[in-house]
Homo-oligomer: A and B are copies of this chain.
C-alpha cells in the first residue's frame, strides 16, 4: 500500500505525510467571512478540504478538524484598510451585525451540507474568542514583537526575521513595493494590526487593555487554531490568495508568541476563475451555489470540483458544468444500480483481485497529494470494465464486493453518494408520477377493471401513499400528512 504524500507550500515540496502525533491528525482550515452567500469559489475551497478530511479518515489518520467562522475584523480592503465587511453590510441593511453574521452562517452551512461536505468538529467564531485573541496580543507585546500605538496594536514585522518564509517574499522587496501611505500609527508599512481602535461609529467593539476596539483579521486564526489544536499542529489549509498576507501573518504571530513551529504542512487550494480572473465577492464576478442548485444537482457541482486537482484552477464555464453533469450521470448509471445489489451495509474487506487492484490504484491517486481527478479516472476505468464485461456484475463475478467498493471510493472518499440525495426532496417527481398513476387508474376504472384499480390503491397504501376517490375524481396524499 502506498503512503500519503502532500504538497507543502511551506517547503514547495511534495513530502511524505508524517503527523506530529500518529494517533491523531490536527487540521485547521480558514473558513468563510459570513457577509454573503457562498459562491463557487467557496465550494471549491471547502470541497477540496472536505476531500482531504475524508481521505485522512479512510487512511486511518483520525483527523480532528477545526474551521473558523469570521464574523468580525475582516476589512473591505482585505488587509489594513477599509470598513469591517459585516458592519458595512449591517449598516446597508440597517440590521444588527450579529444578526447578519447569524443569517449568513446558516446559509453557509446549508450550502455546504447540500454539497455533502462533512461538518468540521468545531466551527469557532472570531467574536467568540476575543479573550484568547487579547491574551495572545499581550504575550506578543510582552515579548517585544508587537507595539501599542494610539489605541491600536501592531505586529512589528522587522522583529520576526523569518517573515515571508511561506510566501517566499522578502521584507525589503515588500517595503519597496509597499504603497506609500500615511500610517501614522505604524512604525513600518509592513506592520499589520493585531487590535484596532474602534472609532465612535464602529458597531462591533470590545474593551481591552489598549482601549475599546476590535481584533485584526489575522489574529483570530492563530488564537482559535492553537486553542483547539495546540501550539504546533499538522495541517493548515486555505485558499492560495490567503497565503499572503493572511497566512504569513498567522505564522509570524503564532511562532513569535510560542517560540514553536506553528504548522507542519500548509495546503493551499487554487481558485475558480471566470475568463481567467479570480471569482470573488469583491470582484462581483461570482456565481452563487444556491443559484447553481436551481439547475444542477449539488453532486454535479461537487463532481465538477473534484474533476480537477485542488491545486489547479477551474475556469468556470457552461461547457464545464454540462460535461460534469454528463460525467456524473455516466458514473451513477453504474453505481446506482450496483448499490441496489446488497442487503444491509456491513463493511467487508476486499478479497477479489480486480477490486483489490482498483482500490490500490485509487489509494495511490489519493495518496499522491489527494489527486481526485486521477482517483475519478480509476473509478471510471472500473465502470468501463464492468460495462464491457457484464458477467462481472452477476454472482460469481464481483457482485458481492462491488457495492462496498463504490461506497468506499465514490461515497466515503469522494463524497458523491450523500444519504438521501443530499437533502433533495422528490416532491416534484412524486407529483408527476402520481398524476400519471391516477390517470392510468381512472383508465382501468372506466374499463371496469376493478382488480387492477384496487391493486394500485393497495400497493400505494403499503408504500405510504393514500388514494381517496371522491366526486371530483381521485386525490392522493402522503400517509399521515
Q: Which residues of A contact B (CB under 8 A)?
A: 64, 96, 98-99, 102-103, 106, 109, 119-125, 127-131, 135, 206-207, 228, 296-297, 299-300, 325, 328-329, 332-333, 336-337, 420-421, 423-437, 440, 456, 459-460, 462-465, 475, 477-478, 480-481
How many subunits of this chain does the assembly comprise?
2
Complex Cα–Cα for A319 and B55 (A): 48
Q: Is the CB of B480 within 8 A of A296?
A: yes
Set of chain B residues within 8 Å of A428, measured between Cβ atoms: 463-464
Can you pick out 14 interface pairs between chain A and chain B where the beta carbons lie within 8 Å of each other? Answer: A96-B228, A99-B121, A102-B123, A328-B481, A420-B425, A421-B427, A423-B423, A425-B426, A426-B427, A428-B464, A429-B430, A430-B430, A436-B456, A436-B463
Q: Is the CB of B459 within 8 A of A436?
A: yes
CB-nearest residue of chain B relative to A130?
A: B131
Query: Which residue in B119, B297, B462 is a CB contact (below 8 Å) of A481?
Result: B297
Q: Is the CB of A124 within 8 A of B98?
A: yes
Complex Cα–Cα for A14 and B28 (A): 53
Decide if the interface of chain A is mainly helix, strand, loop or mixed: helix
Q: How far apart are A24's CB and chain B's nearest CB, in angstroms?
A: 11
Query: Which residue in B102, B206, B433, B464 is a CB contact (below 8 Å) of A121?
Result: B102
* Contact of A423 with B421 at beta-carbon distance under 8 Å, contacts A99-B121, A296-B480, A436-B459 already known: no
* Contact of A431 with B131 at beta-carbon distance under 8 Å, contacts A119-B106, A440-B440 already known: no
Q: Is the CB of A421 within 8 A of B99?
A: no
Q: Is the CB of B432 within 8 A of A426?
A: no
Q: Is the CB of B426 within 8 A of A477?
A: no
* Contact of A429 with B465 at beta-carbon distance under 8 Å, contacts A135-B207, A477-B336 already known: yes
Set of chain B residues within 8 Å of A127, measured between Cβ atoms: 128
Q: Is the CB of B432 within 8 A of A332?
A: no
Q: Is the CB of B430 within 8 A of A300?
A: no
Complex Cα–Cα for A339 and B464 (A): 22
Q: Is the CB of A433 within 8 A of B329?
A: no
Set of chain B residues within 8 Å of A431, measured between Cβ atoms: 463
Given contact pairs A429-B464, A436-B460, enumerate 19 new A-B contacts (beta carbons under 8 Å).
A103-B121, A125-B125, A131-B206, A131-B207, A135-B207, A297-B481, A333-B477, A336-B477, A421-B425, A424-B425, A424-B478, A424-B481, A426-B429, A428-B463, A432-B463, A433-B460, A435-B463, A436-B456, A440-B440
CB-nearest residue of chain B relative to A119?
A: B106
Q: How far apart are A324's CB and chain B's nearest CB, in angstroms?
A: 11
Query: Which residue in B297, B440, B456 is a CB contact (below 8 Å) of A480?
Result: B297
* Contact of A96 with B122 at beta-carbon distance under 8 Å, contacts A130-B131, A299-B481, A433-B465 already known: yes
Complex Cα–Cα for A424 and B421 (A): 12
Interface centre among A329, A424, A437, A481, by most B CB within 10 Å?
A: A481
CB-nearest residue of chain B relative to A138?
A: B207
Complex Cα–Cα for A428 and B479 (A): 12
Set of chain B residues within 8 Å of A456, measured between Cβ atoms: 436, 440
CB-nearest residue of chain B relative to A296?
A: B480
Q: Which 8 A-B residue pairings sit nearest by Cβ, starting from the closest?
A: A432-B463, A128-B128, A99-B121, A426-B430, A426-B426, A433-B433, A430-B430, A98-B122
Interface centre among A123, A431, A432, by most B CB within 10 Å?
A: A432
Set of chain B residues within 8 Å of A434, measured between Cβ atoms: 433
Q: Is the CB of B429 within 8 A of A463?
A: yes
Q: How far apart are A136's CB and chain B's nearest CB, in angstroms?
A: 12
Set of chain B residues within 8 Å of A336, measured between Cβ atoms: 477
Complex Cα–Cα for A420 and B436 (A): 21
CB-nearest residue of chain B relative to A124?
A: B98
Complex Cα–Cα for A427 and B430 (A): 8
CB-nearest residue of chain B relative to A461?
A: B432
Complex Cα–Cα for A329 and B468 (A): 13
Q: Is the CB of A432 within 8 A of B481?
A: no
Complex Cα–Cα for A421 and B124 (A): 32
Complex Cα–Cα for A463 and B429 (A): 6
